[in-house]
Amino acid sequence: MKLLLELGPLVLFFIATKVFGNEVEGVVKATSLFMVALVIALPISWKTEGKLPVVPLITAAFVLFFGGLTVYFGDGKFIQIKPTAVSIFFFVILIGGLLRGKLLIKSLLGEVMKLEDEGWHIMTKRWAGFFLALAVINELVRHNLTWDQWVAFKTFGILPLSLIFGMSQAGVLQRYEIASEGEETAD
């Protein structure tokens, strides 16, 4: 259910772009549908999960802002810029936290996994770098490929890239994991 609520609006956006086309009117309709689906999904997520996760909430705010600009101005560039803006936002937040001596990624994921601070420091720098790279990739795709190709990348490229990058961090997680009481970590 959680996956459906998080990915459903995005998949609906992909389908809507195919149904409505990539002309201005179609882009506006698909973006409007995306925003409505997101607004419906958030309260359902809150009800089923008992809370709204921070990252999807921030992403929703960006979707509504850039989607609103897309609808208002009738220009798909705004919704295309959204992934770049979200990625830069997370990059700045993570690096800004590091510069202030804060491990903000630890506050987001600290309940899920227990790592030594050095591990959180490494993860913060790596995820910040990943978000910066994702922003650059989105801009390259946006400027060099068609609308349909960008939509396919947004729908089926960003999530797999994020999952692959996350899985590639398993070594850091294992190396810096703090054992629970009564457990030993693997060396």
For the stretch 113-129, pLDDT in tens is 899 999 999 999 999 99
Structure tokens at 11: 């998949």
pLDDT of res. 37:
93
Residue 186 lies in a domain: no
Residue 187 lies in a domain: no
pLDDT tens digits, 96-109: 999 999 999 888 88
Residue 183 lies in a domain: no
Give the mean pLDDT of 65-86: 95
- Rounded-to-integer distance, Cα 109 and Cα 4, Å: 21
pLDDT tens digits, 132-168: 999 999 999 999 999 999 999 998 999 899 999 999 9
Residue 182 lies in a domain: no
The answer to whether the CB of 43 falls within 8 A of the CB of 60 is: no
**Secondary structure of residue 115 in the 3-state scheme:** strand
Is residue 185 over pLDDT 60?
no
- Rounded-to-integer distance, Cα 38 and Cα 43, Å: 9
Residue 106 lies in a domain: yes
Residue 43 lies in a domain: yes
pLDDT band at 184 (very low <50, low <70, confident <90, very high): low
The answer to whether the CB of 103 falls within 8 A of the CB of 118 is: no
pLDDT of res. 176:
93
Predicted structure pTM score: 0.85
pLDDT of res. 181:
57
The residue segments making up the domain with residue 165 are 2-176
Tally of domains in the chain: 1
